[in-house]
Structure 1
Amino acid sequence: MDPLDKARDLLRRFKGDAYLFGVGALYEIGPWVRRAGNRATLVRGTFPGSDEYVRQIRSALVEAGVELAAEVRGARPNAPYEDVLRIHEELDRAGTDVVISFGGGSTIDAVKAALVLGAMGGRIDDYFGTDLVTKALERSGAALPAHVAIQTVAGSAAHLTKYSNVTDLSTGQKKLIVDDAIVPAHPAFDYETTLSEPKALTADGAFDGMSHMLEVLYGAVGKPHCALAAEIVEAGLPLILEHLPRVMADPGDRRGREALALATDLGGYAIMIGGTNGAHLTSFSLVDVLPHGRACALMNPYYTVFFAPAIEGPLQLIADIWRRAGLTETDFRALTGRELGVAVAEAMFAFARRVGFPTRLQEVEGFTTAHASRALTAAKSPQLRMKLQNMPIPMTAEMVDDYMRPVLDAATQGDLGLIRIVS
């Protein structure tokens, strides 16, 4: 079977007929929105080439008999608090029964959070954590408006998931709403839109999708979703390893672009059956110096070594995929525990360097020890407890200084030997 067909089959298993995706999907967007309602507000990104796509959306809505009542500017990178509040206010004024988000993960995440505020009020901080939106909806009897989330970037899979990342720019800290209630009911992604992605954004998105798959697999050991997590990784990870270098060399590579979009969508599938953990948790404290995908790419090798004794099976699977892709000659089969983790981490470093990513925090412009301190403080926050709980070696807030600090020290200096293994 064509590897891309395998990825498509998995996505259909995930979403059935409730996902409009693939090359040319925007040609069907009018009827897709009409399924959700007949009066819409469009929250749109402003990336290069977006105006032409927005004109196509407007025309499609007219043909489908959907009134476009208002257009709202989307969010800046990392969905700042201020943008969420602005979008909430503009949606409230428009008062439509359907909200269309068109853009990357930040715009889609900002709309998710804005819809929560519109339905129930309060402060956005009231909803950071797990299932707090669902509980508030049950208490109030309110409902969220229909959300048609049209993704334009291969990466976060925000259009498919229960996550809304929102950033407090004053502190440089990202926080997270995790709730099935905010999953967009009408997701769409025309993979053609990724052809205009800059190279840096392409690589960041690919590594974000890779991190989703890897971290979920790490945390799935011994759990019911372990086999499915492995199946997703086996289908999605090779697409990134094979096609990201090709797309970086030739941004117009259409098959490569489709492969990366499918792979990162599979990353979205992964984080709907399991959860991310260490690298994502630390990345939330690096938003002012690193794009999200790049931060995860940098941190995952170090957490791989930390988790290694508990995830030997997943690491052998990942190592085999790396070897089949021709990216390493290491014989991982005789390795176990920390030694296996170090070997896999070194293979990860090599692939990151291939696309020009840093592999230690000291290489990152603007990074200071204050970022490490911020990450340790954030890890102890009840609002981010789910990331500690998702780790294959579950960690409590009391363990953060003893075990996470050495991981951050190792990542700062690029020295895997500094990582302390839980005995």
Structure 2
Amino acid sequence: MSNITLFRTTERIVMGAGSINTLDQEIKNLGGTKPMLITDPGLVATGIIDRIEKLLTKGGFAFIRFDKVEADPRFEIVNEVVDLIRANNIDCILGIGGGSSLDIAKVASVMVTNPGKVEEYFGIDLVKKPGLKTILVPTTAGTGSEVTPIVILSDNHEKLKKGVVSSHLLPDCALLDPELTVGLPPAVTAATGMDALIHAMEAYTSINANSTTDMLAVRAMELIFGNIRTAYANGNDIEARNKMLEGSMLAGMAFANAGVTAVHAFAYPIGAEFHIPHGIANTIMLTPVMEFNLIGNLDKFAHIARIFGEGDAGMSPRKLAELGVAAVRELAADLNVPQHLSAYNVKADDVPALAEGVMKVTRLLANNPRTLKIEDAEAIYRSVL
């Protein structure tokens, strides 16, 4: 066993209520003069983008906006954004929004400085040159994309989600302001928060976990599990929102270095084929994959249950681990997140093709604490129809 580990994360992280007001200074710190703001139509409708554009105008920046980012974005959007960046001589990029907008901002920044099209870079460490200076501002406590060297894009031709992984994708600055998450609808708070929790749980149980990622993952689970119900029930609770945003970031740091596992591998095909929102797809697949994985690391799954406040002294690791499964099932019910694929019209006849899709996600399955066969994948999908 090798004792050599590598830890990478975003160099500069600015956190706290009202921290968005420092955005102009962060741009100037990076030498930016003409930023491009990358976001989505839903965030524009909330008025958050108007607020940010006023800050940019006050700071004296000549900026442009791309606001056509879609959920689970197609890789073709990246090429469209890159053409716009080049045509307008943009010198830095601001990604504002959920994981989709942050991912488009990250990958667009490197595609400006690297040759070819983005589809040529699906894989690990294929990006050779650093990109434009980039600042990411998450408005959901979910993906942790602001601290990860990973971008996930949809390939609708193959009905799969694919990743670009490179240290050059880490932004220069992450700016986390819980005030920007206050307006999230409860359903979005639930789905994105569950995604963040699953990031932490999978990083903790990944075979590539180490003491640094464990520390981050444990704290992330404490913060998210302890505050997600409050953030869902009372979206104006700024303390809960702040802790969720911090937990999401820490989970991002953990899984960026330890990797996620089979829950995400199962979520990718159903997300691409049936357009199930990512956090919901992960939540549906969480408990059956946990049940499958338990014997791969009973001690860690038992400790997850303790983090969730389950169990008594002297209880066996197996019993504790099973209580952890029950705890996340109860959490999903409290948050009203669907737990069955039938809610999205997935049928038994779809299972073989979906299972084949799972087996193609080798980058994630390689991290899983238990080896998965295609018949296991089919059984797991069938268990949540």
1:123 Cα deviation (Å)? 3.3
1:257 Cα deviation (Å)? 1.2
Is 1:126 the equivalent of 2:112? no
Cα gap change, 1:252/1:369 in structure 2, threshold over 3 Å: closer, same or farther? Answer: same
Match of 1:5 in 2: none
SS in 1 for 2:379: helix
Match of 2:248 in 1: 264
In the aligned structure 2, how far is the partner of 1:278 from the partner of 1:103? 26
Match of 1:104 in 2: 98
In the aligned structure 1, how far is the partner of 2:349 from the partner of 2:167? 34
SS in 1 for 2:344: coil
Cα gap change, 1:74/1:289 in structure 2, threshold over 3 Å: closer, same or farther? Answer: closer
In the aligned structure 2, how far is the partner of 1:283 from the partner of 1:340? 26
In the aligned structure 1, how far is the partner of 2:203 from the partner of 2:313? 21
In the aligned structure 1, how far is the partner of 2:276 from the partner of 2:184? 18
SS in 1 for 2:270: coil
Cα gap change, 1:16/1:405 in structure 2, threshold over 3 Å: closer, same or farther? Answer: closer
In the aligned structure 2, how far is the partner of 1:14 from the partner of 1:192? 27
SS in 2 for 1:167: strand
Cα gap change, 1:242/1:308 in structure 2, threshold over 3 Å: closer, same or farther? Answer: same
Residue pairs, 1:129-168, within 5 angstroms? 129-133=123-127, 137=128, 142-168=129-155
In the aligned structure 1, how far is the partner of 2:9 from the partner of 2:118? 29
Question: What is the TM-score of this pair, normalised by structure 1?
Answer: 0.81
In the aligned structure 2, how far is the partner of 1:333 from the partner of 1:282? 34
Whether contact under 8 Å (1:48, 1:196) holds in the other structure is no
Residue pairs, 1:240-389, within 5 angstroms? 240-287=224-271, 288-323=274-309, 328=310, 330-331=311-312, 333-337=314-318, 341-362=321-342, 364-369=343-348, 371-381=350-360, 384-389=361-366
In the aligned structure 2, how far is the partner of 1:274 from the partner of 1:47? 32
1:172 Cα deviation (Å)? 3.7
Q: Percent identity?
A: 19
Is 1:185 the equivalent of 2:172? yes
Match of 1:237 in 2: 221
Matched letter for residue 206 of structure 1: G
In the aligned structure 2, how far is the partner of 1:374 from the partner of 1:91? 38
Whether contact under 8 Å (2:191, 2:337) holds in the other structure is no
Match of 2:376 in 1: 403
1:78 Cα deviation (Å)? 0.8
1:181 Cα deviation (Å)? 1.3
Whether contact under 8 Å (1:285, 1:371) holds in the other structure is no
Match of 2:4 in 1: none
Whether contact under 8 Å (1:38, 1:66) holds in the other structure is yes
Over residues 116-167 of structure 1, what are the superposed CA-to-partner deviations in whole Å (9 max), with x where a residue is unaligned? 433224332221121122xxx2xxxx44111111211111111211111111
In the aligned structure 2, how far is the partner of 1:255 from the partner of 1:262? 11
Aligned partner of 1:28 among 22, 27, 40: 22
What is the count of residue pairs matched by the alignment?
Answer: 376
1:264 Cα deviation (Å)? 0.9
1:343 Cα deviation (Å)? 3.5
Range with bigger deviation, 160-169 or 200-209 = 160-169
1:17 Cα deviation (Å)? 6.6
In the aligned structure 2, how far is the partner of 1:360 from the partner of 1:310? 25
Cα gap change, 1:340/1:408 in structure 2, threshold over 3 Å: closer, same or farther? Answer: farther
Whether contact under 8 Å (2:177, 2:242) holds in the other structure is no
Is 1:207 the equivalent of 2:204? no
In the aligned structure 2, how far is the partner of 1:33 from the partner of 1:267? 26
In the aligned structure 2, how far is the partner of 1:197 from the partner of 1:49? 13
SS in 2 for 1:359: coil
Residue pairs, 1:73-84, within 5 angstroms? 73-84=67-78
In the aligned structure 2, how far is the partner of 1:376 from the partner of 1:88? 34
Structure 2 stretches of 5 or more lacking a match?
1-6
Whether contact under 8 Å (1:41, 1:94) holds in the other structure is no
In the aligned structure 2, how far is the partner of 1:332 from the partner of 1:405? 37
SS in 1 for 2:269: coil
1:109 Cα deviation (Å)? 1.0
1:236 Cα deviation (Å)? 2.0
1:50 Cα deviation (Å)? 5.7
1:200 Cα deviation (Å)? 0.9
Whether contact under 8 Å (1:152, 1:194) holds in the other structure is yes
Match of 1:94 in 2: 88
Matched letter for residue 345 of structure 1: V
Cα gap change, 1:41/1:358 in structure 2, threshold over 3 Å: closer, same or farther? Answer: closer
Over residues 312-348 of structure 1, what are the superposed CA-to-partner deviations in whole Å (9 max), with x where a residue is unaligned? 121121111222xxxx5x54853345x5544322222
Whether contact under 8 Å (1:84, 1:110) holds in the other structure is yes
Question: What is the TM-score of this pair, normalised by structure 2?
Answer: 0.89
SS in 2 for 1:156: coil
In the aligned structure 1, how far is the partner of 2:286 from the partner of 2:244? 19
Cα gap change, 1:218/1:95 in structure 2, threshold over 3 Å: closer, same or farther? Answer: same
Cα gap change, 1:14/1:116 in structure 2, threshold over 3 Å: closer, same or farther? Answer: closer
In the aligned structure 2, how far is the partner of 1:78 from the partner of 1:28? 29
Matched letter for residue 392 of structure 1: P
In the aligned structure 1, how far is the partner of 2:79 from the partner of 2:346? 29
Cα gap change, 1:84/1:230 in structure 2, threshold over 3 Å: closer, same or farther? Answer: same
In the aligned structure 2, how far is the partner of 1:155 from the partner of 1:336? 29
